Structure 1
Amino acid sequence: MHYTELLKAREELTGPGGEFEIVEAEVLGNRLRVYKNAPPSVREVWLSTLQFPERDYLVYQDERWTYADAHRDVASAAAWMAEQGVKPGDRVAIAMRNYPEWMLLYWACVATGVVVVGMNAWWTPEEMDYALKDSEPKVLFADSERLERALSIDGVTDRMKVVGVRAPDAPAPVIQWSDVLAHGGDLPQVTVDPDSDACIFYTSGTTGFPKGAQLTHRGCVSNLLNMAFSAASTMLATARATGEMPPPPEEAPVPVGLITTPLFHVTANNCAAYLITAAGGKIVLMYRWDAGEALKLVETEKVTAMSGVPIMARELINHPDFATTDTSSLQTLGGGGAQLPPDLVHKIDSSVETARPNTGYGMTETCGIITSVSADFFIDKPDSAGPAMPNFEAKCVNELGETLPQGEVGELWVKGSSVIKGYINRPEATAESITDGWLHTGDIARIDEDGFIFIVDRKKDMVLRGGENVYCAEVEAAVYRHPSVAECSVFGVPDDRLGEEVGVAIVLKPGEDVSADALREHCAGIMAKHKVPRYVWFLTALPRNASGKFVKRDLKEQLTKDLDSAQVS
């Protein structure tokens, strides 16, 4: 394989005078690796797309926005918000599925220094209420489904202005999105500090409440450059090794990305949408994931890149219409949010003649990717997540936080300009997760001689369900709120489609009797449906060690061997 060429390409691109030159700078009290030529904020990324007025930008069903249309609506929304007294540093919440308005509002905020609060579209009213109180937005933009939940929260319209998007029947005092657009106006002129918050994305909390991660403008811009660097270094190394030079940039097709995962996550927003937008490409949105519909869109919109959770790529390839659909526009197909099984890496490469497999490993806490790998390098090391991006230092540490020799397994820590500032209102959680600029990823990994990172286990007590992090402690906290439950233990159950499903073992209080469905209904009233346990076991006791702690690993191993003994939804 071409690992020597890859190392040379990375050094050349990031060295003095290189397109992705890396230097060190003082950032919020830490010496970090930064891109020397990075735009100072996300505002400049958005303004750079003014050069593509006639190109299609957003496609949703039979609706289309050109870049000119999008800039008009972004300016109108930003000017309207400014008139409502929303200033740089203030927060605005977006609660909706992947409608085009999500992207328009996102750019309207970040281009004027206003902080986006990305609300999880699956949240219950209780979860929404927590995040709204935690982030204190000046305005909430919500589609009809989320609006209904928000309006069930006491006093929500007294605490903030509420705008209904695609919600024509919304009651007063909800403001209509059409009124926002009718305001018109120019994008307010502001200077945005690189280390100010661009957005707050919530991650599942280990204590029952989600944590609001503060993604900075520097972090988001750095992630965009990481994505571009990964493609450039792989292409350069492969071309030099094979002698097959890629076409010049002016001859390359305009990128078209099919967004398949929620925009309130970094995978869809910071990775896919940023990269396509910065290149003047077209973003194709779906109402919900459907492999057959995705295939039609690939053919009709000439999609060049699709990424989602790994099951989406598998369902696309396995769909009955796959063989008769023109997928020749696809150049990359892959996923994030969970590791691609090695067989799927090879299947993508052999099934789609024009597309190469790719993946990235990252976190909300790194504004997107930490590593990326694609094409021949992914084929050669299909169980790897790829090398760390150049703005990161990466190391594996032992339980004492001591750096381990290369190749040894330990918790992966990373440090760089994409690491979040912290968690809002949670200084103790920030201190627990970040030490002297080093982010504790909670993943157990090893780094090989080529610098490629392999994720081998998870330190965090967490279920990774279809790309969504579900913390076991959060689900346990919800289960314990049922009056009949004496003890419970939540863990991941292997699942062919989603990677893992949520399972729970429960001990009821003496004399109590409750069904699995009743417990699920109880949980569904407290938290988003993807966190509700699918597998439920009722036991007389949970295994404990000598100190009285539950032995979760033994319990999981024992119960997942006999799934027939569970009550499954």
Structure 2
Amino acid sequence: MHYAELAQARDELTGPGGAFEIVTINVGGVPVRAYAHALPDVRALWQSTRQFAERPYLVYEGERLTYAEAHARVDAIAAWLAAAGVQPGDRVAIAMRNYPEWLLIYWACVSTGIAVVGMNAWWTPEEMAYGLADAAPKALFLDAERLARFRGIAAPPAGLQLVGVRLAEPAPGVTPFAEVIAHGGAMPEVAIDPDADACIFYTSGTTGFPKGAQLTHRGCITNLFNMLYAGASTARAVQLATGVAPPATPPVPVTLLTTPLFHVTANNCGAYATTAAGGTIVLMYRWDAGEALRIIEQERVTSVGGVPVMARELINHPDFATTDVSSLTAMSGGGAQVPPDLVHKIEDRVAGARPSTGYGMTETCGIITSCSGDFFVDKPDSAGPAMPAYEAKCVDDDGNMVPPGAVGELWVRGAAVIKGYINRPEATAAAITDGWLHTGDIARIDEHGFIYIVDRKKDMVLRGGENVYCAEVEAAIYRHPAVAECCVFGVADERLGEEVGVAVVLKPGEALDAEGLRQHCAALIANYKLPRHIWFMADPLPRNASGKFLRRELREQLSAALPTA
């Protein structure tokens, strides 16, 4: 493999004068790595796309907006907010599905120094009330479903300006979005501090109230440059190894966004990268593999990303074989580890598309690592190397570095790490030490700098003193051809402390019993890692809003009534 060439590409691109030259800057009293040629703020990014005026930007069902049309609406929203008294440094919340308006409101806010509060569209009225009290936005843009939930809040915030998006009829006290657009006007001129908040995204916790992470303009732009670097470094490494240069003019991307815009996967990674390239973003009302295949064929989608289970559902769908997916050049998985078998399935079954992954967090404004193409196929259980704007290390429970190749908690430091959590100084101090973010992920780093995420620290099963990493067991189970979905978790055990449990969903028409699954796994992993408790589920496994399996919810629900198998 081309690992020497990848190292050479990194040196060329990040060294003095390189397109992704890395320098050390001071942010909040901490020295961090940053890109010397990064844009100053997110406003500069959005303004740079005016050059793409006639290109299609947003596609949603039968609706299409060009960049020129999108800019006119963004300018109008920004002018309306200014007239409504929302100033730089204030916050505006968005609570809705992935409608085109989501992105228009987002660009209007960040371009005028207003921080966007991305509210989870699945939140209950109680959770909405918490988020609104925590972030204290001046205005709330919401669709009909979220408006109904807002009406269920016992004591809604006083003075909050409501703007309704795609409402079937007028609502008392709610300004129609059409009125905002009709306001017209130019984008206000503002100066933005790179370390000011661009948005507040809430971490996807499954217990208790989530924390509002402060993503800065510098952090969001750094993440964009991390993504651009990832593509450039891989292409340069392949060129150095093979002599084959990438296209002088890369194709304009058409990206199908499948995960919610209130998370970094869709917003900071998918939307940012496509927008910066003047590409087209295609949105869906809700995730459906069959509908996604239809859209890929109709819109000539070049890349589709989401959590790994979505790629698996596309490939397993009955319509996959008869759908023209030849436009695809990339299928990515993020938000959860991509099982190694899925990497090879994408490589083998999707002609023209290469598998890719990005590992990251809300707390890093997006990706920490990236891995694609030949490198991902060669190391399918890796998340890839850390991007050059990060320092990365694995540490023990006392924060001391572990030996090279050893397992420890991954810590990273760089310009994309969040400022902290709003209203949570203690949580911020617990998560960030001298600029180093404690990811909470157990990992190891190999001799090429590639990071392997072994498991979430708190989700690891401790069985009789032996660590059992859920991702490893899941990877083994997924190699059984009958398995569609699985999620491994710990089940309390009087003798061993914990035993390995797993919820499994089989593909339609397939049959498998507990003993058959254990025999399959026994050939792949050690006996102490074999699942003791196995549940075969009739329905798809529950997921949170970003598409991740609800591991703790499954554990609590299923372990209450242990199976006899």
Distance (Å, rounded) in 2 between the aligned partners of 1:318 and 1:401: 43
| Residue 159 (structure 1) shift | 3.3
1:416 aligns with 2:419: no
Give the aligned residue type for 2:369.
T
| Residue 246 (structure 1) shift | 1.6
The aligned counterpart of 2:112 is 112
**Equivalences for residues 475-490 of structure 1 within 5 A:** none
Kindly indicate whether the alpha-carbon contact (under 8 Å) linking 1:412 and 1:443 is maintained by their aligned counterparts in 2. Answer: yes
The aligned counterpart of 1:4 is 4
Distance (Å, rounded) in 1 between the aligned partners of 2:428 and 2:70: 36
The aligned counterpart of 1:307 is 305
The aligned counterpart of 2:467 is none
Seen in structure 2, the aligned counterparts of structure 1 residues 494 and 416 have a Cα distance that, compared at 3 Å, is: farther
The aligned counterpart of 1:281 is 279
Kindly indicate whether the alpha-carbon contact (under 8 Å) linking 1:447 and 1:454 is maintained by their aligned counterparts in 2. Answer: yes
1:190 aligns with 2:196: no
Seen in structure 2, the aligned counterparts of structure 1 residues 283 and 140 have a Cα distance that, compared at 3 Å, is: same
Kindly indicate whether the alpha-carbon contact (under 8 Å) linking 1:168 and 1:176 is maintained by their aligned counterparts in 2. Answer: no
The aligned counterpart of 1:404 is 402
Instruction: Report SS of the residue matched to 1:405.
Output: coil
| Residue 334 (structure 1) shift | 1.9
Give the aligned residue type for 2:178.
S
Seen in structure 2, the aligned counterparts of structure 1 residues 407 and 189 have a Cα distance that, compared at 3 Å, is: same
| Residue 436 (structure 1) shift | 0.2
The aligned counterpart of 2:335 is 337
Give the aligned residue type for 2:420.
G
Instruction: Report SS of the residue matched to 1:59.
Output: strand
Give the aligned residue type for 2:320.
F
| Residue 199 (structure 1) shift | 0.2
Distance (Å, rounded) in 1 between the aligned partners of 2:554 and 2:33: 43
Give the aligned residue type for 1:263.
L
**Equivalences for residues 58-137 of structure 1 within 5 A:** 58-137=58-137
Give the aligned residue type for 2:123.
W
| Residue 392 (structure 1) shift | 0.2
- Give ranges in structure 1 of 5+ residues lacking alignment: 473-488, 499-527, 540-558
| Residue 169 (structure 1) shift | 2.3
| Residue 371 (structure 1) shift | 0.2
Describe the superposition over 1:51-94 as per-residue Cα deviations: whole angstroms up to 9, x where unpaired. 01100000000000000010011011110001111011100000
Distance (Å, rounded) in 2 between the aligned partners of 1:237 and 1:188: 43
The aligned counterpart of 1:485 is none
Kindly indicate whether the alpha-carbon contact (under 8 Å) linking 2:132 and 2:157 is maintained by their aligned counterparts in 1. Answer: no
| Residue 533 (structure 1) shift | 3.7
1:327 aligns with 2:325: yes
Seen in structure 2, the aligned counterparts of structure 1 residues 95 and 232 have a Cα distance that, compared at 3 Å, is: same
Give the aligned residue type for 1:141.
F
Distance (Å, rounded) in 1 between the aligned partners of 2:170 and 2:502: 41
Give the aligned residue type for 1:396.
C
The aligned counterpart of 2:441 is 443
| Residue 314 (structure 1) shift | 1.0
Distance (Å, rounded) in 2 between the aligned partners of 1:434 and 1:84: 37
Distance (Å, rounded) in 2 between the aligned partners of 1:530 and 1:411: 22
The aligned counterpart of 1:271 is 269
| Residue 323 (structure 1) shift | 1.6
How many equivalent pairs are there?
494
Distance (Å, rounded) in 1 between the aligned partners of 2:432 and 2:266: 25
The aligned counterpart of 1:518 is none
| Residue 494 (structure 1) shift | 4.3
Instruction: Report SS of the residue matched to 1:159.
Output: coil
Seen in structure 2, the aligned counterparts of structure 1 residues 32 and 495 have a Cα distance that, compared at 3 Å, is: farther
The aligned counterpart of 2:290 is 292
Kindly indicate whether the alpha-carbon contact (under 8 Å) linking 1:213 and 1:424 is maintained by their aligned counterparts in 2. Answer: yes
Kindly indicate whether the alpha-carbon contact (under 8 Å) linking 1:305 and 1:331 is maintained by their aligned counterparts in 2. Answer: yes
Give the aligned residue type for 2:315.
I
| Residue 530 (structure 1) shift | 8.0
| Residue 206 (structure 1) shift | 7.8
**Equivalences for residues 190-229 of structure 1 within 5 A:** 190-205=190-205, 208-229=208-229
Give the aligned residue type for 1:33.
R
Describe the superposition over 1:139-196 as per-residue Cα deviations: whole angstroms up to 9, x where unpaired. 0000000111012213436330011101132421111101111100001100111000
Instruction: Report SS of the residue matched to 2:342.
Output: helix
The aligned counterpart of 2:165 is 165
| Residue 324 (structure 1) shift | 1.7
Instruction: Report SS of the residue matched to 1:378.
Output: helix
Instruction: Report SS of the residue matched to 2:458.
Output: coil
Instruction: Report SS of the residue matched to 1:354.
Output: coil
Kindly indicate whether the alpha-carbon contact (under 8 Å) linking 1:157 and 1:173 is maintained by their aligned counterparts in 2. Answer: no
**Equivalences for residues 142-161 of structure 1 within 5 A:** 142-156=142-156, 158-161=158-161
Distance (Å, rounded) in 2 between the aligned partners of 1:86 and 1:156: 19
Give the aligned residue type for 1:149.
R
Give the aligned residue type for 1:414.
V
Q: Alignment partner for residue 383 of structure 1, among 381, 384, 406? A: 381
Instruction: Report SS of the residue matched to 2:158.
Output: helix
**Equivalences for residues 528-567 of structure 1 within 5 A:** 533=553, 536-537=557-558, 563=563
Describe the superposition over 1:539-562 as per-residue Cα deviations: whole angstroms up to 9, x where unpaired. 6xxxxxxxxxxxxxxxxxxx8xx5
Q: TM-score, normalised by structure 1?
A: 0.83
After the TM superposition, list the runs of 4 or more consecutive aligned residues in structure 1 that deviate by more than 4 angstroms.
461-465, 491-498, 528-532, 562-565
Distance (Å, rounded) in 1 between the aligned partners of 2:205 and 2:361: 14
Instruction: Report SS of the residue matched to 2:59.
Output: strand
The aligned counterpart of 1:545 is none
The aligned counterpart of 1:20 is 20
Identity score, percent: 65
| Residue 291 (structure 1) shift | 1.0
Give the aligned residue type for 1:115.
A
The aligned counterpart of 2:242 is 242
Describe the superposition over 1:397-453 as per-residue Cα deviations: whole angstroms up to 9, x where unpaired. 011101112101100000000000000000000000000000000001000000000
Over the residues paired in the alignment, what is the CA RMSD in angstroms? 2.5
Instruction: Report SS of the residue matched to 1:58.
Output: strand
Distance (Å, rounded) in 2 between the aligned partners of 1:287 and 1:135: 27
Give the aligned residue type for 1:83.
A
- Give ranges in structure 2 of 5+ residues lacking alignment: 461-469, 475-486, 490-497, 508-546
Distance (Å, rounded) in 2 between the aligned partners of 1:278 and 1:221: 11
Seen in structure 2, the aligned counterparts of structure 1 residues 564 and 191 have a Cα distance that, compared at 3 Å, is: farther
| Residue 564 (structure 1) shift | 6.2
Distance (Å, rounded) in 2 between the aligned partners of 1:376 and 1:362: 21
The aligned counterpart of 1:504 is none
1:230 aligns with 2:230: yes
Instruction: Report SS of the residue matched to 1:156.
Output: coil
Give the aligned residue type for 2:109.
C
Distance (Å, rounded) in 2 between the aligned partners of 1:529 and 1:364: 14
Seen in structure 2, the aligned counterparts of structure 1 residues 537 and 371 have a Cα distance that, compared at 3 Å, is: closer
Kindly indicate whether the alpha-carbon contact (under 8 Å) linking 1:144 and 1:170 is maintained by their aligned counterparts in 2. Answer: no
The aligned counterpart of 1:35 is 35
Kindly indicate whether the alpha-carbon contact (under 8 Å) linking 2:41 and 2:221 is maintained by their aligned counterparts in 1. Answer: yes
| Residue 122 (structure 1) shift | 0.4
Distance (Å, rounded) in 1 between the aligned partners of 2:398 and 2:448: 26
Distance (Å, rounded) in 2 between the aligned partners of 1:85 and 1:163: 14
